[in-house]
Amino acid sequence: MLVALVLKGVKESKRATNIITSIKVSLVMFMIVVGSFHVRPSNWRPMFPFGASGMLRGVTSTFFGYLGYDQVCGLAGEATRPQRDMPLAILITLVFVTCIYMIATLVLTGMQDWREISSVSGFPTAFHANHADWAGELTAMGEILTLPLVVLVQVLVQPRLQHAMAEDGLLPRIFGELDENGNIWKGTVISGSITILISTGVQFSHLNDIISCAVLIALSLTDSSLILLWHEAPDPESNFARYLVLTFNVVAFLTSSVLVSYMETAWGRALSTTLLCILGGLVYAITSYCPRTAVFGGRRHRYHEEQLIREQNFFRTPGVPYLPCLGIFINWYLVAQIDAKSIGLLLLILGLSSFYYFRRKGRRSNRDSDASPDDGPVQELEAPYHSTSANASSLIL
3 state SS of 8: coil
Q: Is the domain of 7 the same as that of 139?
A: yes
Q: Could you read off the pLDDT of 236-266 as tens digits, one per residue?
A: 678 899 999 999 999 999 999 999 889 889 9
State the burial class of residue 310 (Cβ atoms within 10 Å of its Cβ: 0-12, 13-18, 19+). exposed
Q: Do 137 and 254 have their domain in common?
A: no
Mark whether 211 and 120 lie in a shared domain.
Answer: no
pLDDT of residue 15 exceeding 80: no
> Is 312 within a domain?
yes
Are residues 146 and 223 both part of a single domain? Answer: no
Does 159 fall in a domain? no
* Whole-number Å distance between alpha carbons of 20 and 99: 20
Alpha helices in the chain (DSSP H): 2-7, 10-36, 51-61, 67-72, 82-111, 122-129, 133-146, 148-167, 185-201, 204-230, 240-261, 266-289, 306-311, 322-335, 340-361, 389-396
Residue 30 and residue 123 in one domain: yes
68 contacts 395 by C-beta, under 8 angstroms: yes
144 and 231 housed in the same domain: no
User: Is residue 144 a part of any domain in this protein?
Assistant: yes
In-domain check, residue 389: no
pLDDT of residue 390: 39
Q: Are residues 209 and 323 in the same domain?
A: yes
Last residue of a domain, which of 343, 366, 385? 343
Q: List CB contacts of 254: < 8 A, sequence separation 6 or more.
A: 275
Provide the number of structural domains found in the chain.
2
pLDDT confidence tier of residue 386, bands split at 50, 70 and 90? very low
Q: Which of 55-59, 282-286, 344-348 has the highest mean pLDDT?
A: 282-286
**Is residue 386, in this structure, part of any structural domain at all?**
no
Choose from 15-29, 198-212, 310-324 the range with maximum mean pLDDT.
15-29
Question: In whole angstroms, what is the distance from residue 305 CA to residue 347 CA?
Answer: 38
CA distances from 260 to 48, 147, 272 (A): 17, 33, 10
Task: Determine if residue 280 is left, alpha or beta; phi over 0 gives left, psi from -120 to 50 gives alpha, anything else beta.
Answer: alpha
Q: When comparing pLDDT for 136 and 313, which is higher?
A: 136
**Structural domain of 6:** 2-150
Q: Is the pLDDT of residue 58 over 80?
A: no
Residue type, 213: C
Same domain (yes/no): 324, 229: yes
Do 218 and 339 fall within a single domain? Answer: yes
Considering only residues 274 and 55, tell me which one the structure prediction assigns the higher pLDDT: 274
In a domain, 183, yes or no: no
Domain boundary among 150, 167, 184: 150
Residue from 327, 284, 326, 295 nearest 230 by CA:
295
What is the spatial distance between Cα 73 and Cα 156, in angstroms, rounded to a whole number? 12
Q: Is residue 322 part of a domain?
A: yes
Which of 179 and 335 is assigned the larger pLDDT? Answer: 335
pLDDT at 279 over 50: yes
End residue of a domain, out of 301, 321, 343: 343
pLDDT the model gives residue 272: 93
Confidence at 203, pLDDT banded by 50, 70, 90: confident
| Claim to verify: residue 135 and residue 211 sit in the same structural domain | no
Same domain? 239 vs 133: no
Report CA-CA distances (Å) from 6 to 1, 149, 154, 183, 225: 9, 12, 10, 9, 32
List phi, psi (to 5°) of 71. Answer: -70, -35
107 and 244 both lie in a single domain? no
- 375 part of a folded domain: no
**What confidence tier does 328 reach under pLDDT thresholds 50, 70, 90?**
very high
